[in-house]
Structure 1
Amino acid sequence: MGGMTAEAIAALKQNLPSAHFVTPDLTEEYGSLNNSYLSGFESDLTPACIFLPKSKEQVAVFLRTIRPFADNVQFAIRAAGRQPLPGCANVQGGITVDLRSLTGIRLRDGIVKVSAGESWGAVYQYLEPHGLGVTGGKSTTCGIGGLSTQGGLSFFSSRESFICDNVVNFEVVVASGEILNANAQENPDLWISLRGGGNNLGIITRFDFSTFKQESMYAGMVFYFKPSWRDQMTALVKELMSPEASVETHLMLSIGYAQVFGNGNDVICLNQIYYTQPVKDPAVLAPFVHVQPQRSEMNSMKIQTLLEAATEQSGAGQSKIRCLYMNVCVKADVDTLATGGDIWCEELEPVKDAAGLMCSYTIQPYPISQLQKTSANGGNVLGLDPSEGPVLNLLLLSYWADKKDDDRVTGFMQKALKRIESNAKDRGQLVPFIYWNYAFSDQDALRSYGQENVQKLQAASKKYDPDGLFQTACPGGFKLFK
């Protein structure tokens, strides 16, 4: 630990005598906290101290105390720690601010107020007795923060837009230590900038979301085989381009490989399908639900609650191992999507023996209805325009077990992504947007928002963080002035 870091921690303990600080000498608690990230790439980092604030006031004192040390001491902000970007929510030798102790959910006048340490599972469980839903994460284990400040898709995105577009108020502690509300009336420039700005503008301690009436939904998973992949791309593009495209439908289509499936050297395809009304087997889903041949014993389509659907989705993931995401966006073009899957399969071959490998090429649409609703909800800084038609995010995801395979698996993903991106560009189908939550270190998600939106974010940073605390002392993620 550097001398200035030790001084900063001492100052924090003096100014926050009742606060919860965990240092490496508290071996068991420190290890438990630092090993609880989704990805081992985050747990590889070892902060000098983990600070677990219990209130927004403690967060404010933290920022006021750390400011004099900003040139020499770094900090990170962690909500649930589910984003695998290395260094996004942890920091080597610095101070990690872990928000898990900021808990509490309240409902008033159709607005649910959620503290930053909560999970989406807790929110859904709280709202279910009220017959309400919210545009939130698709997994119960996902935290509130990343999805709500960097875009994020929900089961309801076709109808309600991005998760960030449904935040009607952010309670945020800015660099000065002042606690602000950011909404359409108070600090509206900060409100819009936090809808995509990530960790550049402050530490958000509470998110207020609009809710809506929500019954059960028809949802589940369908597993099938690679020869049907192109036909599924055709069906997907047809639905997205239809003038009558359903706003109740959310689809994720994947090609995947997993040693745990025991499927030898073969890939398998997966449709994760959601129709947000309690209607069994609606006609709009028929091409995706009844694709043949399929693994019928693994078909889980049924009427279920929002909480149940998110619980099933969370069960499909892993944690506490090596994990990376990369992504690119394209237009709705069958050849681009299908060829992308073929490229991924080709590049996968040399790394299939990586220990515990589970990986996928996943397509998630941003339909026109979703992009149109962004403006209706007040706007964001992501830079996606509905006039350009539907956009599809192509996610490359890999989990594996052994650190010795890091370079091999990362190399496979980077090579596949480069070829997929080049293929889309050559066809005139590439969209410049990169989704922050799925981005790797060498993908500049912020610049993909476009110059005008970057300038908006930079203006907000200069106003609410004039000394650049979050640009220099909080290095994780993507920074506005680099």
Structure 2
Amino acid sequence: MASTCCTQVFSALGALVYPAGTDVYASIEASYWSTEEASLEPACFFRPHTSTEVSRFISLISTVTNCDFAIKSQGHAPAAGSANIDRGVTIDLSWLNETTITEDRSVASVGTGSSWADVYTTLNPFNKTVAGGRNGAVGVGGLTLGGGISYYSPEVGWTCDTVLNFEVVLASGEIVNANSSHNPDLYRALKGGGNNFGVVTRIDYSTIDTVPLRAGHLFQEQQYLDRVLAAFANIASSISYDIHASIVMSLSFNATTQVWTIISVPIYTLPNLNPDVYQDLVAIPRIEELSTVSIENISTLAVEAPYPQKYQAFFTSTYAASSQLLIKVFDVANKTLQLALLPLDVGVSLTFEPLPIALIQHGARANSLGISPSDGNGVILLISVSWSNATSSGPANHIGSKLLDAMDARARVLLGLHKFKYLNYANPTQRPLENYGKENLAFLKNVSTRYDPGKIFQKKVPGGFKLWSKAELEVKAATESL
């Protein structure tokens, strides 16, 4: 299968195809954030320069039997298969990386292979930015199609809510635009629907005036955890949420010492070092030699320090914004980890971030995420597990799943478990598209059927979260053949 795939692609697009053993192949493999993704071995990589070349590839590969493919922007997803594939062909979009801005500076057009750091650097001289990723190493395409959380999200919504237009290569090879006037159903579906509808090659975003931001890290000890969680919950649950506040709080577990460290990143999207919204949090004793505060531009704030490639696993949930609930779900997580016999190379962190009504209301009924202001203020949980040795994969994935089950069970009892699951944080064992709700899932399936009647992006692109399971597709095919 592998040789047939690449032979046919090479015949049509030879100069853009890189088989195993080439330097370009090796460099792309090394660019993945997760060791699990990098460990997959496609028969070749296809690296287009233009949407027309993507179109030629899709037109060809959709007709080749037993030739699956994956789609990579910057390759920052943790799970194997999200943006890479064994034996098939991986499209590496990293050369679709141009960022341009309109003459009036209101719209930025961005190639989906770009990193957010490159986007911010390009827009900075114009005193403009977009509501993109907080980590500059993350890719434009993957983050946006999964919803996307930005420092500016409380002001303007999910990253996908700021999209004015998607340029998409459909399963037929046709290049179309999806916006409020043309293909509006596809436009909405792409706002959170993942890689189910085509290969998105360019995204046009509304720009934001850029001003320096309050940045920094706040390190605090476990003895202050209840106070920190209470201060965080007060921010997240406020009925008058400060739209300039964007805070992420991580609890990092040391398997050797069995001790947690609290690391908060309280960003404020104005140049105010001491905004009122963070006063309770910063009043709690901190580890002074580690904590920082500064005023920075988004283009420098998003630059990530080099991070060694490791095995990674994400799990996610969403809870009510309640200090008592957060304290209780942490308590069950702590007990679970204290009893676990983890390999010493396994690291675990619990990250909480607000999901306020202020953010949600920007995209209500205009995206496909299935969350509305009536759901109230929430808190997104990311369980992140990392490890260095392949032999630790079993215990690492098991503890992540066990933590999620235990924390969700406690939140359910406390009536604080929300249905929404953020796709970009979800584990492959989770079904975030189903958590968008029956109405939204039905809408996404209808859009898929209209624009991809042959189910190319369901059957031949196994990575990502699919609208139908393999079993459902088999039943559907059998029914249609009668």
- Unmatched 5+ residue regions in structure 1? none
> C-alpha deviations, 1:299-344, integer Å up to 9, x for none?
1111111122212xx33x8341111110111111222211222222
- 4+ residue runs over 4 A deviation: 350-353
Count of residue pairs the alignment pairs up: 467
- Structure 1 segment 336-415 matched on structure 2, within 5 A: 336-349=325-338, 354-375=343-364, 379-415=366-402
What are the within-5 Å matches in structure 2 for residues 47-126 of structure 1?
A: 47-69=42-64, 71-108=65-102, 109=104, 110-126=106-122
1:328 counterpart = 2:324: no
**Alpha-carbon deviation of 1:237?**
2.5
Counterpart AA for 2:349: S
After superposition, what is the alpha-carbon deviation per residue over 1:169-198, rounded to whole angstroms, capped at 9, x for unaligned? 111100000111111111111110000111
Give the equivalent residue in structure 1 for 2:297.
Answer: 305
- Match of 2:453, SS state, is coil
**What residue number does 2:235 align with?**
239
Q: Which of 177, 197, 205 matches 1:201?
A: 197
2-side partners of 1:258 and 1:166: how far apart? 39
Check the 8 A contact 1:351/1:408 in 2, yes or no: no
Q: Could you tell me whether the CA contact under 8 Å between 1:39 and 1:319 is conserved in 2?
A: no
- Per-residue CA deviation, residues 351-389 of structure 1 (Å, 9 max, x unaligned), is 6763443321010111110011113xx711111111121
Find the counterpart in structure 2 of residue 278 from structure 1.
271
SS in 1 for 2:289: helix
Residue 451 of structure 1, CA deviation: 0.7
Measure how far apart 1:434 and its partner are: 1.2
Q: Displacement of 1:150 after TM fit?
A: 0.7
Aligned mates of 2:460, 2:282 — CA distance in 1: 49
Structure 1 counterpart of 2:327, one-letter code: A
Q: Is the 8 A contact 1:271 1:288 kept in 2?
A: no
CA-CA distance at 1:111 after TM superposition: 0.4
C-alpha distance in 2 between matches for 1:267 and 1:234: 17
After TM superposition, the score normalised by the length of structure 2 is 0.93
1:440 matched to 2:427? The reply is: yes
Q: Deviations over 1:431-480 (max 9, x none)?
A: 11111111111101110111111111111111110100000000111111
Give the partner amino acid of 2:59: R
| Contact 2:116 2:132 (C-alpha < 8 Å) held by counterparts | yes
Q: CA RMSD in A?
A: 1.7
Structure 2 contact 249–353 (Cα < 8 Å) conserved: yes
**Which residue does the alignment assign to 2:141?**
145
Task: Pick one of 402, 415, 436 that aligns with 1:449.
Answer: 436
Aligned partners of 1:207 and 1:446: how far apart in 2? 22
Counterpart CA distance in 2 for 1:31 and 1:169 is: 34
Separation in structure 1 between the aligned mates of residue 266 and residue 308 of structure 2, nearest angstrom: 23
Aligned to 1:8: 5
Q: Is the 8 A contact 1:362 1:395 kept in 2?
A: yes
Measured in 1, the distance between the counterparts of 2:84 and 2:308 equals: 16
Q: What SS does structure 1 have at the residue aligned with 2:207?
A: strand
Cα gap change, 1:461 to 1:427, in 2 (>3 Å): same
Give secondary structure in 1 for the equivalent of 2:362. Answer: helix
Query: What do the CA deviations read for 1:22-66 (whole angstroms, capped 9, x no partner)?
Result: 11132x432332232111111221111111111111100001001
Q: Could you report, residue by residue, the CA deviation over 1:57-112 in whole angstroms, capped at 9, with x for unpaired residues?
A: 1100001001112x411100011110112211111111111111112110003100
Partner of 2:468: 481
Given the alignment, which residue of 125, 142, 157 partners 2:153?
157
- Of residues 405-414 and 378-387 in structure 1, the stretch that sits farther from structure 2 once superposed is 378-387
Q: Distance in 2 between matches of 1:309 and 1:290?
A: 24
Question: Equivalent of 2:27, from 27, 32, 35?
Answer: 32
Q: Distance in 1 between matches of 2:45 and 2:344?
A: 31
Q: Tell me the residue number matched to 1:189.
A: 185
Distance 1:435 1:213, change over 3 A: same
C-alpha distance in structure 2 between counterparts of 1:7 and 1:85, whole Å = 26
TM-score (norm. length: structure 1) = 0.93
